Amino acid sequence: MALLNWRSADHYDHSGDKPCVICTRPTPLRSDRGKPVHKVCAEQWLDTHASQEDDA
């Protein structure tokens, strides 16, 4: 499983929770592109999609 390093404060949005783009539960976390997403959801998404690209 890919482990993302989200120690930077840039991954936390103090303005409030928004629905995660993957599981739709609220999260204050943001991806590198500013999308609301839980770190665990992003790691699982990367694992799923990286394996699909390897199969192609």
Residue 53 pLDDT grade (very low, low, confident, very high; cuts 50, 70, 90): low
**Where are the domains positioned within the chain?**
9-50
Q: What is the pLDDT of residues 2-52, one digit of tens each?
A: 789 989 999 999 999 999 999 999 999 999 999 999 999 999 999 998 866
Region label for 24, one of left (φ > 0), alpha (ψ between -120 and 50) or beta (otherwise)? left
Q: Which residues contact 37 (CB under 8 A, 6 or more apart)?
A: 20, 21, 22, 27, 29, 30, 31, 45
pLDDT at 2: 75
pLDDT at 51: 66
